[in-house]
């Protein structure tokens, strides 16, 4: 049983464990299960070969205990450290008389009890006597006082599940949801911040900056081109001057020829 417990712990501290399944672990007595499991709520020891409950730890938050198909014949008083015990399955054991069940009087929250396939069920007025033994009992062997069969949700969890187990899990879930919302919010904020940072140097602004630089280069280029244009225009002006000079030379030549003729 000790090895199985270590395996089920999976590296957790005993005080962190809320549910423990030790079915079929094969041990005649409780070994390795200690008072350190202060938050344990559900414990299953079905078909484990138990013959005694001696050494059963004090588990203040335990509300559901599965002990079916063992060889337990007495010693229910060893469960008195489990004050919140609400569901107890002892079916398929060796309980023979009502005296063995007398320790159940101490369990004020006990609502579901299963003694199916025990010799005690053959006692006359068995059901009436067991219900009288523990007034808080709502279901015995899956039926209430009026022989009305319990629904699965009632028989296996009962009102105590909401009182002792479900509320805690709902609180845990709600805490996780709040954490998730906080995470989502923080991620959203980070995302928005990133967007703002990117927008301050977005491709649009970069493109505009690039166009501005390009425009400056373009203006400089225009000035250079204009300067080159002016420079190129000088030969054109010069060309016109040469033409006028040639005409003047031809005119002088003609005049000289006319003078010679005369």
CA distance 61 to 37: 9
Would you call 144 helix, strand, or coil by DSSP? coil
Domain residues of the chain, as ranges? 2-159
**In this structure, how many other beta carbons lie within 10 angstroms of the beta carbon of residue 161?**
22
pLDDT score of 194: 53
CA distance 62 to 42: 6
The class (CATH top level) of 2-159 is alpha beta
CA distance 34 to 239: 116
Q: Is the pLDDT of residue 159 over 90?
A: no
Q: 36 vs 233, which has greater pLDDT?
A: 36
Average pLDDT estimate for 27-43 = 96
The 10s digit of each residue's pLDDT in 206-251 is 444 444 444 444 444 454 444 444 444 444 444 444 454 555 555 5
pLDDT score of 51: 97
User: The sheet that has 87-89: what strands, in order across it?
Assistant: 19-21, 42-44, 64-66, 87-89, 112-114, 139-140
What pTM does this model have?
0.62
| Residue 195 main-chain phi, psi, to 5 deg | -65, -40
**What one-character DSSP code corresponds to residue 151?**
P
CA distance 200 to 211: 17
The 10s digit of each residue's pLDDT in 57-113 is 999 999 999 999 999 999 999 999 999 999 999 999 999 999 999 999 999 999 999
pLDDT score of 52: 95
Are 69 and 91 within 8 A, CB to CB? Answer: yes
Q: Is the pLDDT of residue 56 over 70?
A: yes
CA distance 39 to 18: 5
Q: Is the pLDDT of residue 19 over 80?
A: yes
CA distance 161 to 168: 10
* Closest of 94, 90, 149 to residue 115, by C-alpha: 90
**What one-character DSSP code corresponds to residue 113?**
E
CA distance 7 to 135: 39
What is the band of 13 on the pLDDT scale with cuts at 50, 70, 90? very high
Would you call 194 helix, strand, or coil by DSSP? helix
Q: What angle do CA 56, 153, 84 make, to 5 degrees?
A: 30
């Amino acid at each position: 049983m000790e090895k199985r417990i270590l395996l089920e712990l999976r590296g957790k501290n005993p005080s962190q464990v809320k549910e423990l399944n030790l079915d079929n672990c094969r041990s005649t007595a409780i070994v390795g299960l200690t008072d350190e499991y202060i938050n344990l709520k559900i414990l299953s020891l079905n078909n484990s070969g138990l013959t005694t409950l001696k050494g059963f730890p004090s588990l203040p938050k335990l509300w559901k205990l599965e002990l079916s198909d063992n060889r337990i014949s007495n010693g229910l008083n060893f469960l008195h450290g489990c004050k919140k015990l609400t569901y107890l399955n002892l079916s398929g054991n060796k309980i023979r008389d009502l005296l063995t069940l007398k320790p159940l009087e101490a369990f004020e929250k006990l609502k579901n009890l299963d003694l199916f396939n025990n010799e005690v069920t053959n006692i006359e007025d068995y059901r009436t006597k067991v219900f009288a033994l523990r007034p808080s009992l709502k279901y015995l062997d899956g039926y209430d006082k009026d022989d009305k069969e319990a629904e699965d949700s009632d028989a296996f969890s009962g009102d105590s599940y909401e009182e002792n187990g479900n509320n805690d899990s709902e609180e845990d879930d709600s805490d996780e949801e709040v954490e998730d919302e906080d995470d989502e919010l923080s991620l959203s904020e980070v995302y928005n911040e990133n967007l703002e940072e990117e927008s301050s140097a977005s491709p649009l602004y970069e493109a505009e900056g690039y166009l501005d630089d390009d425009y400056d280069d373009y203006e400089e280029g225009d000035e250079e081109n204009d300067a080159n244009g002016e420079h190129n225009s000088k030969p054109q002006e010069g060309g016109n001057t040469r033409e006028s000079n040639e005409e003047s030379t031809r005119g002088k030549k003609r005049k000289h020829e006319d003078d010679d003729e005369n």
